[in-house]
Amino acid sequence: MERRVLDFAALLRRNGIRVSTAETLDALRAAELSGLRDRTLFKSALRATMVKRAPDVPAFDSLFDLYFSGVGDMIEEIGAESAAGMSGEELQDLLDRLARLLEDLDPPPSDLARALVTQDTASLERMMREMSQQDATSPPDSPTSVPAAVRRMMDRLGAGSLAEELDRMIEALREAGASQAEIDQLREYLDKRLQDLGKMLKRMAEMEGQKRERPEERDKEKERLLDKSFYYLSATEIRQMREAVAALARKLRNLMSIRRKHTKRGRLDVKKTIRGSLEFGGVPFRIRFENKRKERPQVVILCDVSDSVRNVSRFMLQFVHSLQDLYSRVRSYVFVAEIAEVTKLFSDNDIQTAINESINGNVVNVYAHSDFGRAFKDFHVSHLDVIDSRTTVIILGDARNNYNAPNEWVLRDIQERAKQVIWLNPENRSTWGFGDSEMSRYGPFCDVVEECRNLRQLYRVVDRMILL
Amino acid sequence: MEPIKPYASVDEVRRRLAEQKYICDNNIATVVFLATQLGKPLLVEGPAGVGKTELAKVIASSTDARLIRLQCYEGLDEAKALYEWEYAKQLLYTQILKDKIGEVTQGAATLAEAVDRLTAEDDVFFSHRFILPRPLLQAIRSDDRVVLLIDEIDKADAEFEAFLLEILSDFQVTIPEIGTVSATQIPIVVLTSNNAREMSDALKRRCMHLYIDFPGKDLEHEIVRLKVPEVGSKLMAEVVGLVHALRALDLKKAPSISETLDWARALVVMNIGDLEDALVKDTLSTICKYEGDLRKAEKELSAYVQRKRADRERAESAPPPPADDKDVLH
């Protein structure tokens, strides 16, 4: 059992679940207590000791089934399939007869033949497992090599002489004076079992392949998403990205709570210290410090939601609104040519609904041509008063203005009032300022101008923003 | 130092917890059994309101142990979790006992001798007398059986978690003024987490892990039956069914078991016999705590009621069993 638990731990590790040596030892002790007889008990024991993250539980479950019960279940299933044509009694009768026949056979049949013919699942399972352990050094790496793996396993099991042995059984039966019908029935059954063995080995090879085939896909996937440009996201990737953004936001929030704590402690508070010392007869036993009050930043986001940058806007909005409690106030605006506030959408709905509402065209016409100048001017007229000296203004857009009036003076006014202005551009930096890109006009009135083409860059920007 | 081994088998865990009106599946029972046998802390995770804290409480009551609870929150530190040194009391004692100290040092020929004499007594001032034990120290020092519940560990800071590690692995703490205090027996430790923050691997490694999810329909039935027996079985099936349907929706906060129970109790108090009652709508606030969720729940409820009505009408308007048809045909 020890061996198998250790192997299983290695299997878990190969699949991206972290299992430490100490945990494996715990698992062994727990397995000793639970015993192997009750499978659910055994499974619970292993799960409690080896899997400590809820998201890993499904992976553990499927691997457990694959490793501990996959083979047995598979053998039984295939056996049941081929016995489907017979009633239970008939089968039992046949098996009994075969058992008697095998007793008398000289020379005695091989273990494999005996187990296969008498449908001895336990022995078959054991043999196959032993074989696959020997085989572990040369795993079938790809599905194409399954036939080769089957052949190799056949050899190792000594299945080459199996057909002969089965023939010998029939011969023995004939000598014992069985009727032709009986012999035919038996031949049919034995042929079936021989085919079953082939099936079993094939499934076994596939299962072995499965075990090895799941490397740390998930982690790699995440890494890939981080660097993938927002321009080329498929619908599924948008969904995955949403989760990635949520995870990053959570991470950031954790980090923040630590950072904030470190910056909290301020100067010695003399008044409080003296007042506290009264309790100890005037001895200042406990030194009190001022709590530095850190102002939480206010954020105003202006998001371009035209076709070309919609994806970035989507994730930026998700990011900022999932971190809402880190800011004292977040106000969001979306624009293409007209501009509209969507803050209320976010307070009334859950984040995803609000985002979809904001960018689907109900709030502003998303089929218009981008016009930053007009959007800025409108903002200046009706919303400028939301910006004060504590506000960080974030503008998200490619600054492609379709040769309209850029109205960069609005940005100048905003910068004068705001604490700072950050421009995030989802275009490659080398293309800024060419064609209808007005980045070179807007740039001078921003405190920070950043390229923001993928999640990694977005995360970095948000991270810095909070520190401000 | 031996772990308390209060249960002899997994079945016993189930039985004893059931006696305390806590119904659990085999997985929970197994993990509780193993954790108590191996003397390992038990880290329980899962959505809010599935009975994580309750589990610790019933483990305590089923084993006749005292429950010591440490509620975690942001900014929780050693002084509030482990012990606090009572300077004020110590100071007070020194003041009051000034004369006595004078007596002790009286007649000392040199200052050194006076100090020596005082030093001989100095344990008096650095003793357990002046320590205010907080939950962790209480659990370690306790002579009788205890269950230590560290609730919502995810709310505490990462530093506190690191500090817990020492205690959870050795069950001993070092108090500079006194020395090391070790537990006489390993207490049963239960940590709960709502996963507001991922726990560190070091902590997880030392614990047995248990994930409690929302129960299946049958289990929830049993729980409701046990806790709110006044609910009729028909209403109970409806309640559990609807709650399960709600959990499948995309709600801001899925209704928990405790909320199912609250709702069942509310329905009993309001004397509502089945979900078609118009008053049911007003009781939904017991299971949904957000405005948006409430609206979704109302929609789900009315859909359910309509479905039920349609079923009934179909059943009523269905042709009577074709007993007489034969006669007509012939």
**Which chain B residues are Cβ-neighbours of A18 within 8 angstroms?**
201
Which amino acid is present at A219?
D
- Global confidence as pTM: 0.64
The predicted structure's pLDDT at residue B70: 93
Yes or no: say if A400 and A437 are a contact pair by the CB < 8 Å rule. yes
Interchain CB distance below 8 Å, A34 and B30: yes
Q: Using 50, 70 and 90 to split pLDDT, how confident is the model at A258?
A: low
**ipTM value > 0.85:** no
The predicted structure's pLDDT at residue B326: 47
Cα B9 to the center of its chain, rounded Å: 22
Please tell me the least confidently modeled range out of A220-229, A402-411, A413-422, A441-450: A220-229
**Which chain A residues are Cβ-neighbours of B37 within 8 angstroms?**
33
Section B273-300 average pLDDT:
84
- Evaluated on CA atoms A342, A345, A350, A355, the torsion sign reads negative
Mutating which of B52, B208, B289, B294 best tests the A interface, going by the most A Cβ atoms within 10 A?
B208
Yes or no: say if A383 and A376 are a contact pair by the CB < 8 Å rule. no
pLDDT tens string A261-319: 666 667 788 888 888 888 777 777 778 887 765 566 678 888 888 877 777 788 878 87
pLDDT tens string A375-398: 888 898 888 888 888 888 888 888
- How does the average pLDDT of chain A come out, rounded? 77
The predicted structure's pLDDT at residue B148: 93
Which has the higher per-residue pLDDT, B139 or A82? B139
Q: Using 50, 70 and 90 to split pLDDT, how confident is the model at B294?
A: confident
Q: Is A35 exposed, middle or buried (0-12, 13-18, 19+ CB in 10 A)?
A: exposed
Yes or no: say if B274 and B238 are a contact pair by the CB < 8 Å rule. yes
Interchain CB distance below 8 Å, A26 and B38: yes
Interchain CB distance below 8 Å, B292 and A254: no
Mutating which of B38, B72, B85, B290 best tests the A interface, going by the most A Cβ atoms within 10 A?
B38
Q: At what angle do helices A217-227 and A235-264 cross, to 10 degrees?
A: 80
Q: Per-residue pLDDT for A19 more than 50?
A: yes
Interchain CB distance below 8 Å, A254 and B34: no
Mutating which of A19, A23, A32, A52 best tests the B interface, going by the most B Cβ atoms within 10 A?
A52
Distance CA A54, CA B47 (A): 11
Query: Which strand (E) or helix (H) includes residue B168?
Result: helix B158-170
**Eight-class DSSP state of A143:** G
CB nearest B211 (choices: A49, A54, A257): A54
Q: Using 50, 70 and 90 to split pLDDT, how confident is the model at A140?
A: very low
Looking from the CA of A445 toward its CB, the CA atoms found within 13 Å total 20
Query: Which strand (E) or helix (H) includes residue A460?
Result: helix A455-467
The predicted structure's pLDDT at residue B59: 93
The predicted structure's pLDDT at residue A307: 78
Which amino acid is present at A139?
P
pLDDT tens string B138-179: 998 888 889 999 999 888 877 788 888 878 888 888 887 788
CB nearest B87 (choices: A34, A280, A350): A280
**Which chain B residues are Cβ-neighbours of A258 within 8 angstroms?**
157-158
Residue A235 burial (CB count, 10 A): 6
Interchain CB distance below 8 Å, A49 and B208: yes
Residue with tokens 């009986």: A182
Section B61-86 average pLDDT:
87
What the block records as the tokens of A400 is: 């492609």
Residue B13 burial (CB count, 10 A): 24
**Which chain B residues are Cβ-neighbours of A283 within 8 angstroms?**
91
The predicted structure's pLDDT at residue A468: 47
Q: What is the CA radius of gyration of chain A?
A: 35
Query: Which strand (E) or helix (H) includes residue B210?
Result: strand B208-211
Which has the higher per-residue pLDDT, A286 or B244? B244
Interchain CB distance below 8 Å, B74 and A257: yes
Which amino acid is present at A234?
S
Yes or no: say if A230 and A307 are a contact pair by the CB < 8 Å rule. no
Distance CA A166, CA A178 (A): 16
Q: B67 CB contacts (<8 Å, ≥6 apart)?
A: B56, B57, B60, B61, B146, B147, B149
The predicted structure's pLDDT at residue B58: 93
**Which chain B residues are Cβ-neighbours of A250 within 8 angstroms?**
197
Yes or no: say if B227 and B22 are a contact pair by the CB < 8 Å rule. no
- Strand pairing of A391-396 and A420-425? parallel
**Eight-class DSSP state of A298:** E
Provide the number of CB pairs (under 8 Å) joining chain A to chain B.
86
Distance CA B107, CA B119 (A): 16
Yes or no: say if A294 and A264 are a contact pair by the CB < 8 Å rule. yes
**Interface residues of chain B, partner chain A, Cβ below 8 Å:** 10, 26-27, 30-31, 33-35, 37-38, 40, 43, 45-46, 74-75, 87-88, 91, 95, 157-158, 195, 197-199, 201, 204-211, 250, 252, 292
Q: Per-residue pLDDT for A341 more than 80?
A: yes
Interchain CB distance below 8 Å, A44 and B45: no
Distance CA A161, CA A234 (A): 55
Yes or no: say if B49 and B194 are a contact pair by the CB < 8 Å rule. no
Please give, rounded to a whole number of angstroms, the shortest distance from the CA of B77 to a CA of chain A: 13
**Which chain B residues are Cβ-neighbours of A254 within 8 angstroms?**
158, 197-198
Among all residues of chain B, which has the CA nearest to that of A20? B205
Using DSSP, how many helices (H) and how many strands (E) does chain A show?
A: 21, 8
CB nearest B197 (choices: A52, A254, A349): A254
Yes or no: say if A371 and A336 are a contact pair by the CB < 8 Å rule. yes
% of chain A exceeding 90 in pLDDT: 0
Which has the higher per-residue pLDDT, A433 or A258? A433
What 3-state class would DSSP assign to B308?
Answer: helix
Mutating which of B7, B28, B30, B154 best tests the A interface, going by the most A Cβ atoms within 10 A?
B30
